[in-house]
Structure 1
Amino acid sequence: MRVSSVRTVAGDTLALCREDGLYDLRAVDASLPDGVGALIAGGPDLVACAGRAANGATSAARLDEAALRYRPLIERPGKIICIGRNYAAHAREGGAEPLAYPDVFMRAATSLVAHGEPLVRPRASEHFDYEGELAFVIGRRARHVPRPDASTIIAGYAIFNEGSIRDYQRKATQWTMGKNFDGTGGFGPDLVTPDELPDGAEGLRLRTMLNGETMQDGNTRDFIFSVPEIVAILTEVMTLEPGDVVLTGTPAGVGYARKPPLFMKPGDVVEVTIEKVGTLRNTVRDEG
């Protein structure tokens, strides 16, 4: 099942994505919530209810895609946890050897931007870089999860463009400031449930395109820390809760490592495509 959070002329709703378009699941079952965040917060029984509604969706529930806008997949996650330098080639292009323990940092919900909406290059800097990433969303409260059980706590997978302000990222030893400018992180369009993908989303091709040119071309099989390893590492330290979002790192090819460096600018179109997950598309604008 593939679901998204959208805004229509009639209000916010939970949408089902099929090959032939989007369907309003609340038109099938009015008891369902109006977005993915509330769906996940409602637990496995509510997700199962959405699955039944998806099976029963007919043409009467079809949405007019020209008259809707996407919202960030989960608008106010409790935590957005980022794994840095999780591809060896990306670590090396930044001048570091692969790590024995991951870099972990956090993003704020105010940085989120929906599929189809513009990313915001801030007034403070022109060093606005792309980072295509696989994200996964936590489906149940969990602590001390062993690797073999990691899949049991994941509600689904999505796409993230972890837009980074590189000069601010390097103003201090911690990366937080460069990773949290408002409106810099694309998130969506769909949450894809684990049954649609290989276990741990392993072996999926990830590409980032800037104005139609391939910038990044990686594969999740090249993770230094796999999805099960990330779950085990994080839950050794903290409780993961429904709706928490985990970003798994970006492959080589980012703009700051190119010669000369290449940064996003107003009018650019950036697309992140992950095999079997979909495509996240955003334009770029300057901060108003």
Structure 2
Amino acid sequence: MKIAVVNSRTSLIIENRIVDVEEASRGDLSADPIRMFDQWAALSALAGSGIALTGMPEADESAMQLPQPMPVQAFGIGLNYADHAEESGLDLPAAPLVFPKFSSSIVGPDAVLRLSSETVDWEAELVVVIGVDCFDVEVDDAWSVVAALTVGQDISDRVVQFEGGANPQFGLGKSAPGFGPIGPWLVSVDEFALETLALDISCTLNGETKQSSNTSNLIFDVPTLVSYLSKRVELKAGDIIFTGTPSGIGWGRTPKELLAPGDVLETTIEGIGTLRTVVAAR
């Protein structure tokens, strides 16, 4: 099941057509995105009910909005691919390295990223969407509390991130307006082989590939991350987890490559889709 928000209404994406869930359910389901996770099972049933698509509008990713309600909490995971830790000159973490991405940074697809400085970098990431309120979840049960996966960019101002020296400010460096684009839609976890979750992930800048990896290379996999977080904080339906980025960031290159006005950043994950972000001056 693919779920998007179009014209501020929850919609299914079926065979590249937009299906308004309230209209398709004849009013049984609300199209208000705030009800999305309360209705998740019913949305899944509707998606599989054989909806007649004649006359339904074609999906236009440029018209799509943040594909879920604004999350109460957004978490980032640092150094979760070994090659990224190596390019950053840092040791592999012994446990998930968690930082906040403040919710005010979260935006949808085709958002305009207005640069906060000349030291802003990209990070392609798989994003996990929590489906129910939960606490103290075991690893073996973790997938049961995950509703969906989507594509994300953990945009980062490297100077702000590291201005604390030995005490870096990851949360502040990664939470300026527009620094957390996700989308273009959510894909329910029943669409994936969860035992392995081996999804190709890539990022292009102005059409040139900058990052290319696979989610099977995550140091701490999705169930481990969900369980680890849930044993320390209560997770809420709609919370999101940016699971980490592979190598290929601009800051790790010689010479460094950073985002500039006019750039187009595209992040693609197999089985989900492509998230497009346009860069502009503040």
Same fold (TM over 0.5): yes
The aligned amino acid for 2:41 is A
- Shift in CA distance, 177/200, structure 1 to aligned 2, threshold 3 Å: farther
Which deviations, in whole Å up to 9, do the C-alpha atoms of 1:69-126 show, x marking residues without a partner? 221123421100111110011011111121111210111222122112212212xx11
1:49 correspondence with 2:45: no
The aligned amino acid for 2:2 is R
Q: Which residue of 2 aligns with 1:2?
A: 2
> Among 134, 138, 145, which residue is 1:146 paired with?
138
Q: Which residue of 1 aligns with 2:31?
A: 34
Higher helix share: 1
SS at match of 2:271: coil
**8 Å Cα contact 1:37-1:77 kept in structure 2:** no
> Among 15, 18, 24, which residue is 2:14 paired with?
18
**8 Å Cα contact 2:17-2:53 kept in structure 1:** no
Gaps of 5+ in 1: none
The aligned amino acid for 1:181 is A
- Shift in CA distance, 177/67, structure 1 to aligned 2, threshold 3 Å: closer
1:285 correspondence with 2:277: no
**8 Å Cα contact 1:5-1:35 kept in structure 2:** no
Gaps of 5+ in 2: none
Distance 1:219 1:68 in 2: 26
Distance 1:130 1:67 in 2: 21
- Shift in CA distance, 211/35, structure 1 to aligned 2, threshold 3 Å: farther
Which deviations, in whole Å up to 9, do the C-alpha atoms of 1:241-269 show, x marking residues without a partner? 11111110000000011111111111111
> Among 268, 274, 279, which residue is 2:269 paired with?
274
**8 Å Cα contact 1:159-1:188 kept in structure 2:** yes
Which deviations, in whole Å up to 9, do the C-alpha atoms of 1:185-230 show, x marking residues without a partner? 2111111111101116621110001111110001111111011111
The aligned amino acid for 2:238 is G
Paired residues, what number?
277
Distance 1:279 1:66 in 2: 12
- Shift in CA distance, 37/134, structure 1 to aligned 2, threshold 3 Å: farther
Give the deviation of 1:59 after TM superposition: 2.8
**8 Å Cα contact 1:147-1:228 kept in structure 2:** yes
The aligned amino acid for 1:33 is S
- Shift in CA distance, 197/34, structure 1 to aligned 2, threshold 3 Å: same
Q: Which residue of 2 aligns with 1:79?
A: 73
Distance 1:135 1:67 in 2: 18
Aligned-pair identity (%): 33
TM-score by length of 1: 0.91
Give the deviation of 1:13 after TM superposition: 1.0
1:195 correspondence with 2:190: yes
Q: Which residue of 2 aligns with 1:105?
A: 99
**8 Å Cα contact 2:111-2:178 kept in structure 1:** no
SS at match of 2:229: helix
Distance 1:76 1:212 in 2: 30
Give the deviation of 1:64 after TM superposition: 5.2
SS at match of 1:82: strand
Which deviations, in whole Å up to 9, do the C-alpha atoms of 1:152-181 show, x marking residues without a partner? 100010111111111111112231211111
> Among 250, 257, 260, which residue is 2:255 paired with?
260
The aligned amino acid for 2:123 is E
- Shift in CA distance, 256/238, structure 1 to aligned 2, threshold 3 Å: same
Question: What's the C-alpha RMSD, in Å, of the aligned pairs?
Answer: 1.8
